[in-house]
Amino acid sequence: MNLKITKNIKEANLVTHSSTFHPDDVFATMFLSKIVDNPVVCRTNDSSLASNNSLIYDIGFGKFDHHQVDAKYRDNSKIKYCSFGLLWKEYGLDFLEKRKITDKELLFDAIDKKLVMQIDAIDNGIFPSIKASYSLLDLDNIIDLFNNAWNENKDNDDDFIEAVKIADIIFERLLIKEQAKIVALKKIEKLIDTVKDNILILDEYMPYQEAIFNSKNPKAEEIKVIILPSNRGGYAIKPKTISPTSKELVCHFSENFNGLHDEELVKVSKIKTARFVHSSGFMACTGTLEDAIKMANNAIKNKN
């Protein structure tokens, strides 16, 4: 990343607000560093002093700010765009095209839904409702780790750049993962035609959840169990969930299989290469495809 930071606003071609930073201005800066030549950012409380060639965001009530009364909302949504959302909407497709990415529209939408919308919502005060007995270290909290602690008396510009570097890693990894997922979507769509006896068998280890639930093929609705090569060897057997966001399964392995491994599981299941069934029952593993199908049928036919 070739981003530089300056205190002299006249040297900057990127201008955003100073003091405490958030995922919005951090990710916006990261993204702009990829599309602006020789990016130099100045963090200030007075953007009016910026030179005419500067791109101003998250401050100043301009095109890429969202603090004004007439701030833009996402289409058919109660969520306002934040500065990163506005920048992604304006430049995201061009950025992906220059990267020579195939299926750029699909990838644009995936990044928008997986990353940008979350930042838009939280930066505009719309927080997710999470029911858990533990504290979640989400993206907002992770970026905030780089802000000064209350008893640290130091300039936080350097910490801002460190946060931008973290954002860059997250963004680039998300691009890679979502591109791979799009490739998987196409492969799995073809394999859905091979579904037999409520079982989808994949020939590679790949993400399948979105492909199954987004498929228009009626055979996708027949799927109850997915079998795929395990990245630990052998085959993984996974009952389908009732929805892409749910952990509830449409079928279950015999309850007395849960938590068993190797010889103990073989003895109980009568499946020769059975390796384990997770204690929560969301996955099993066998050594051979033949036995994976037997394990899948156990879940499909099981009534408990």
24-64 per-position pLDDT tens digit? 999 999 999 999 999 999 999 999 999 999 999 999 999 99
| Percent of all residues in the chain with a pLDDT value above 90, rounded to a whole number | 91
Could you tell me the pLDDT band of residue 220, with boundaries at 50, 70 and 90? very high
Instruction: Report which DSSP code applies to 294.
Output: H
**What value does the mean pLDDT take over residues 57-85?**
95
Q: Is 115 helix (H, G, I), strand (E, B) or coil?
A: helix
117-148 per-position pLDDT tens digit: 999 999 999 998 888 899 889 999 999 999 99
**The amino acid at 218:** P
Could you give phi then psi for residue 177, rounded to 5 degrees? -65, -45
So what's the pLDDT on residue 76? 86
So what's the pLDDT on residue 116? 98
The average confidence (pLDDT) of the chain is 95
239-257 per-position pLDDT tens digit: 999 998 899 999 999 999 9
Distance separating alpha carbons of residues 23 and 26, to the nearest angstrom: 5
**Cα torsion angle, 179, 36, 22, 143, sign:** positive
**What value does the mean pLDDT take over residues 269-280?**
97
Instruction: Report which DSSP code applies to 155.
Output: -
- Scanning 151-244, the segments in alpha helix (DSSP H) are 157-191, 209-214
What is the DSSP secondary-structure string of 162-173? HHHHHHHHHHHH
So what's the pLDDT on residue 202? 97
So what's the pLDDT on residue 88? 98
> Which residues 6+ apart lie within 8 Å of 11 measured at CB?
40, 42
pTM, two decimals, is 0.87
Listed by start position, the domains of the chain span 4-181, 195-301
**What value does the mean pLDDT take over residues 258-265?**
96
